[in-house]
């Protein structure tokens, strides 16, 4: 299963990239984040492997994330017109996924974030979910992007919501 989501962020590309790459901010916009700890490498840098635990309902889902592309490596001085790439591979029980994020200048103070996701499932339950509910995966990805936008533009923290 493959799909692409996109959203515009009302911040310059360089600032958007810095916020997106900073692991300290993950719990503020990545709904369900329980843990994101490096196993090897430096958090967020190319080649880093991290243990990721996400809560979905009453169960925890554990995965290993590997940063497979971060270009440019230095997010503090990005040349004009450069597309920023963050790619990561995520492996969990019965699931393999790759996410390819691209940040481009949509205007002087606006960034277009495009995220391409690809999933492959090896167990029957996950295969059925992928076949019967592909829109649920796309909607979840879009929600994460909208949460990031609210955090980046307005400082909104998903942990402070009361539902």
73 part of a folded domain? yes
Tens of pLDDT along 16-38?
Answer: 999 998 888 999 999 999 999 99
Q: What is d(CA 119, CA 141) in angstroms, rounded to the nearest whole number?
A: 12
Report the pLDDT value the prediction gives residue 123, as an integer from 0 to 100. 75
The tally of domains found in the chain comes to 1
Report the pLDDT value the prediction gives residue 7, as an integer from 0 to 100. 98
DSSP state of 73: S
20 part of a folded domain? yes
160 part of a folded domain? no
Report the pLDDT value the prediction gives residue 162, as an integer from 0 to 100. 55
Q: What is the CATH number of the domain that holds 131?
A: 3.30.530.20
Q: Cα 38 vs. chain centroid, distance in angstroms?
A: 16
Domain residue limits at 126: 2-155
Q: What is d(CA 159, CA 154) in angstroms, rounded to the nearest whole number?
A: 14
Residues 6+ apart with CB under 8 A from 162: none
161 part of a folded domain? no
Tens of pLDDT along 73-88?
Answer: 888 888 888 999 999 9
> Does residue 157 surpass a pLDDT of 70?
yes
Tens of pLDDT along 94-151?
Answer: 889 999 999 999 998 999 999 999 998 887 666 666 666 768 888 989 999 999 999 9
């Amino acid at each position: 299963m493959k799909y692409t989501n996109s959203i515009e962020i009302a911040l310059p590309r360089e600032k958007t990239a810095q916020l997106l790459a900073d692991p300290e901010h993950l719990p503020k916009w990545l709904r369900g984040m329980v843990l994101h700890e490096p196993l090897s490498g430096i958090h967020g840098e190319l080649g880093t492997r991290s243990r990721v635990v996400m809560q979905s309902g009453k169960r925890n889902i554990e995965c290993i994330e590997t940063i497979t592309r971060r270009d440019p490596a230095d997010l503090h001085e990005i040349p004009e017109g450069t597309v920023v790439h963050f790619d990561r591979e995520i492996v969990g029980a019965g699931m393999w996924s790759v996410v390819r994020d691209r940040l481009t200048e949509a205007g002087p103070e606006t960034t277009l974030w495009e995220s391409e996701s690809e999933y492959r499932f090896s167990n029957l339950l996950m295969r059925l979910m992928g076949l019967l509910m592909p829109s649920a995966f796309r909607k979840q990805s879009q929600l994460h992007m909208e949460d990031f936008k609210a955090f980046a533009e307005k400082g909104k923290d998903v942990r402070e919501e009361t539902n």
